[in-house]
Amino acid sequence: MKNIAVIGAGTMGNGIAHVFAQNNYNVHLIDISQDAINKGISTITKNLDRLLAKEKITEAIKTQTLNNITSFTSIVEGVKNIDLVVEAATENVDLKLKIFKQLDDVAPQNAILASNTSSISITKIAAATKRPEKVIGMHFMNPVPIMKLVEIIRGYNTSNNVTKTIMELSEKLHKVPVEVNDYPGFVANRILMPMLNEAIETLYNGVAGVYEIDTVMKLGMVHPMGPLQLADFIGLDVCLSILNVMYDGFKNPKYAPCPLLVNMVQAGKLGAKSGEGFYDYSTSKKAEIISKQFQ
């Protein structure tokens, strides 16, 4: 397994492409937008420069990593002669089903099709193909170049051989793969998202403010980042999407998203990527609390 296609040049996609390329795999980075690809390559370059400044890589490794990446704006062209596709598109079930149906038609028959989905059923995604035994979840954590965990999600029909191959591949990327079964939210988000949602409910109910909630969790629970700042970092639209998937999947009200989260997403306050969420990222002061909005 040497040739890897990554679909989506956004936050997760460019991180996944970076990790494969730095470990000397040939990477096809695919996005429908050339601007998105350019932005993704720019992010990879900046992250490599940070590693270079910290003397964790050499200039030669940086150059080789970038040389290992070829960009495409066509899935058909981008998946020729590849061994593995990792889909990292927007967390939207209809979009993912459409992509996997197309991949099944154009990717080599021996290619493994993986999704970086953080909540959507791998079994459902696999059902859009004629090779469900070759479909698997490969859920990287953000930021991909730094975080060690990869959730490996087996669909109902995922073969033992494909699972073993992806587990071993993850280790070659210097990651720690953990195999989990295919239920909404898997393990990471099934535990994390209700906690973030409860933090938002705590704010919504006026129990405490943004700073107070995050400080309690950082100092009292030894979390490196408070839940509201973490939600901003993930993206409030992504949090909402994952909660909706779990709520639809389990029909359990404990997964119902907080009205404040829904309203913020509808208002375009998506967190760090939009410049504003529970914190203000638009000024020179990073993560400045928007206190007036929540008083």
Active site (annotated) includes residue 151 = yes
CA diameter of the chain: 57
Distance CA 167, CA 254 (A): 32
Q: Which of 184, 166, 11, 180 is nearest to 85 (CA)?
A: 166
Q: Spot the catalytic one: 68, 119, 189, 197.
A: 189
189 is catalytic: yes
What is the distance in angstroms between the CA of the first residue and the CA of the last residue of the chain? 54
1 in Cβ contact with 165 (< 8 Å): yes
Q: Give the CA angle between residues 82, 86, 92 to the nearest 5°.
A: 140
In angstroms, the CA 223 to CA 214 distance is 9
User: What is the residue type of 259?
Assistant: P
Catalytic residue, candidates 68, 116, 118, 274:
118
201 is catalytic: no
Distance CA(193)–CA(10), nearest Å, equals: 21
Q: Is 77 designated active site?
A: no
Q: Which of 87, 91, 151, 276 is catalytic?
A: 151
Q: Which of 68, 71, 115, 139 is catalytic?
A: 139
Within 13 Å, how many C-alpha atoms sit on residue 236's CB side? 27
Report, in angstroms and rounded to the nearest whole number, the Rg of the chain calculated over CA atoms.
19
Report the C-alpha gap between 49 and 35 in whole angstroms.
Answer: 21
Q: Which positions are annotated as active-site residues?
A: 118, 139, 151, 189
